[in-house]
């Protein structure tokens, strides 16, 4: 059998080429969970997925290696390679077998052999580091917006809790009921996040409802005409904007759309017809309107652009 490894001339990290000895190690582990049954000796093994593979090399940064492209390995290339490994961000590793792999450098150690004074040997390890969208898809990667939206909802709830009870009662009267705790829907949304693909319609509806409630609360606070509540109203509108942005990023409308304010009371079907949209598509964009017979004047809705 021919020795294929003899033809390998090296690898590269962040476009810095380096030779490798026969110490190229590649490996990964399967992450498993064990499920026991009471009074049974054997277990069920559930595979949770493969851990990221690792690449390990021993690199001879020695001036004595002058074969082929390898020259000035210790006096020039070594310093460049070490700086590249100190960079904590992701980079491209060119492995002689697997080709280009996005990785992070996770360990680096050098050994000085007193019998060989022309450089050092470096043991280096890389771990594959894919981007989030490569694992979960573009929609799930946009869930990174969720913590910010959740925090903004918490800020509003904390600010609203400081309002005196008489003012809260006035806002409740204008709001046709007490304003909701805006953090609650985001807690529910967080529980859906891990199963986004299977619950996208539910996710979309809850975000529409959160945006609607936040906007309605802000409008009710404005109608009290208390300048001391301006910050609280602003925080409610920040929640509304965050919910809308998250909804757009994750679920994505079929058509470009814009947000408009209704100018008169109108039924759902009539409003969809006014915007030249099928009722089903109009409701998909405005899940917060489900159950209404008439959309009140001044309601924010989304329509195709």
- The string of pLDDT tens digits covering residues 13-61 is 988 988 887 678 898 888 776 766 666 677 777 666 778 999 999 998 9
pLDDT attached to residue 123: 93
Architecture per CATH, domain 4-130, reads as Beta Barrel (2.40)
For residue 137, what are its two tokens?
């898809």
Task: Work out the average pLDDT over 121-132.
Answer: 88
pLDDT of 2 > 60? The answer is no
CB-based contact 289:283 (threshold 8 Å)? yes
For helices 146-161 and 200-224, what crossing angle results, to 10°? 30
Q: What is the pTM of this model?
A: 0.46
Task: Work out the average pLDDT over 250-269.
Answer: 73
For residue 43, what are its two tokens?
């277990």
Across 85-99, 135-149, 181-195, 235-249, the highest mean pLDDT is recorded for 85-99
Task: Work out the average pLDDT over 69-78.
Answer: 85
CB-based contact 209:288 (threshold 8 Å)? yes
CB-based contact 286:262 (threshold 8 Å)? no
Higher pLDDT, 259 or 200: 259
91-118 per-position pLDDT tens digit: 889 888 888 888 999 999 998 876 777 8
Of 2.40.50, 1.10.10, 3.10.350, 3.30.70, the CATH number of 253-305 is 3.10.350
């Amino acid at each position: 059998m021919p020795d294929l490894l003899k033809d390998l001339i090296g690898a590269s990290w962040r476009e810095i080429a380096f030779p490798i000895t026969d110490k190229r190690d590649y490996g990964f582990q399967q992450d498993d969970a064990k499920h026991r049954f009471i009074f049974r000796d054997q277990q069920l093994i559930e595979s949770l997925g493969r851990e990221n593979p690792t690449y390990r090399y021993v690199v001879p940064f020695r001036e004595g290696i002058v074969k082929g492209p390898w020259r000035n390995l210790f006096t020039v290339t070594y310093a460049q390679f070490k700086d590249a490994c100190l960079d904590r961000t992701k980079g491209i590793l060119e492995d002689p077998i697997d080709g280009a792999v996005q990785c992070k450098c996770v360990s680096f150690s050098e050994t000085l052999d007193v019998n060989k004074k022309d450089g050092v040997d470096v043991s280096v390890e890389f771990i594959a580091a894919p981007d989030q969208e490569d694992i979960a898809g573009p929609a799930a990667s946009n869930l990174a917006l969720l913590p910010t939206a959740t925090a903004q909802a918490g800020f509003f709830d904390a600010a609203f809790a400081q309002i005196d009870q008489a003012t809260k009662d006035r806002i409740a009267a204008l709001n046709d009921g007490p304003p909701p705790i805006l953090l609650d829907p985001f807690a529910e949304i967080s529980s859906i996040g891990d199963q986004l693909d299977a619950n996208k319609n539910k996710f979309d509806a809850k975000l529409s409802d959160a945006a609607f409630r936040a906007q309605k609360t802000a409008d009710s606070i404005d109608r009290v005409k208390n300048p001391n509540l301006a910050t609280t109203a602003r925080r409610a509108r920040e929640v509304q904007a965050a919910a809308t942005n998250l909804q757009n990023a994750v679920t994505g409308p079929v058509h470009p759309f814009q947000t408009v304010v209704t100018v008169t009371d109108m039924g759902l079907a009539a409003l969809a017809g006014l915007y030249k949209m099928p009722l089903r598509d109009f409701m998909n964009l405005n899940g917060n309107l489900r159950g209404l017979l008439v959309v009140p004047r001044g309601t924010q809705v989304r329509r195709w652009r």
